[in-house]
Structure 1
Amino acid sequence: MPEESKIILNDDQSLGTIEIAPRVLEIIAGYAASEVDGVSKMYGSFANSVSELLGRSDHRRGVKLVKDSDSLTIDVDVYVEYGVSVPKVAGQIQKRIKQQVTLMTNLVVTEVNVHVKGVVALQEEKQVDPDNLFSEDSEDDGGNEEA
């Protein structure tokens, strides 16, 4: 990996340097975003989806990092749950990512851009009556009520 792709964490280098790979920051941001209530899942590529099906979780999914000389910009792509306030959830994502990256690395995050890629509706769980498997409504037993 090229030397310039690493991010130096410490200013005082009397004992040596502390470097962090950008992918570590992407993982921190991905965890932080996915923990916010209202976030259904992170947006990712086809390769991310295949890896997830194979049991390999990629927490960098949906996160892109841009590091300039003195600024750190993080872009996050998410799906939100149906019925939530999108601006409120996006604001919580921004706050949580900035807080976690600063807390864990002492880096100053200048921007957190949230891109909402879609809305996911929650599916209702249907209860199946084992005595009446083919009934559309488990409450209705076809008029065979006993008096």
Structure 2
Amino acid sequence: MGEGREYVSRSDELGNIHISEEVLAVIAAAAALEVEGVGGLAANLGTDLAELLGKKNLSRGIRLQVEEENVTVEVAILVKYGYTIPDVGHAVQEAVAGSIEATSGLTVAAVNVSVGGVVFEKEPKKAQ
């Protein structure tokens, strides 16, 4: 199962189940982006450069640490202007933890949210 990826393995009575950490990161990213008030995921310089070179990263702004069957998630978000940051952060924690636990069966030990900026949305132009 090479390719330089990390996998979370679970034993089952029928065999083993291997879940890529990338899959867990994409699940976390999708859950975070669905939260009202989240304007996007914050990325680091390496992620931005990779995207400029054509490598799309669906899990940008997400880092995972897996120990046995416990997952700690680091989420870096951008908050839309006008939303209360602690409320959005808490909603992201709940959404990410719920999604990972529901889809993978793993236990989420913590979801740490970092707000990397504020997004100002432009108002749509009014028809004249």
The Cα shift of 1:90 comes to: 0.6
SS of residue paired to 1:61: coil
Q: Is the 8 A contact 1:9 1:107 kept in 2?
A: no
Letter in 2 for 1:71: N
Uncovered stretches (5+) of structure 2, i.e. residues with no partner: none
Per-residue CA shift, 1:34-68, capped at 9, x if unaligned? 11110001011345345556776422010000012
Greater fraction strand: 2
Q: What residue in structure 2 maps to residue 7 of structure 1?
A: 8
Q: What residue in structure 2 maps to residue 36 of structure 1?
A: 35
CA distance in 1, matches of 2:74, 2:91: 14
CA distance in 1, matches of 2:54, 2:125: 27
CA distance in 1, matches of 2:50, 2:118: 22
Q: What residue in structure 2 maps to residue 100 of structure 1?
A: 99
Q: Is the 8 A contact 1:102 1:108 kept in 2?
A: yes
What is the TM-score normalised by the length of structure 2? 0.85
- Sequence identity of aligned pairs in percent? 32
Q: What residue in structure 1 maps to residue 78 of structure 2?
A: 79
After superposing on structure 2, the runs of 4+ consecutive aligned residues of structure 1 that deviate more than 2 Å are 1-5, 45-58, 124-129
The 5 Å alignment of 1:12-27 reads: 12=12, 14-27=13-26
SS of residue paired to 1:18: strand
Using CA pairs under 8 Å that are at least 6 residues apart, name the structure with larger relative contact order, 1 or 2: 2
How many correspondences in the alignment? 127
Letter in 1 for 2:7: K
SS of residue paired to 1:123: coil
Letter in 1 for 2:31: A
The Cα shift of 1:6 comes to: 1.5
Q: Is the 8 A contact 2:5 2:21 kept in 1?
A: no
Aligned-residue CA RMSD in angstroms? 2.6
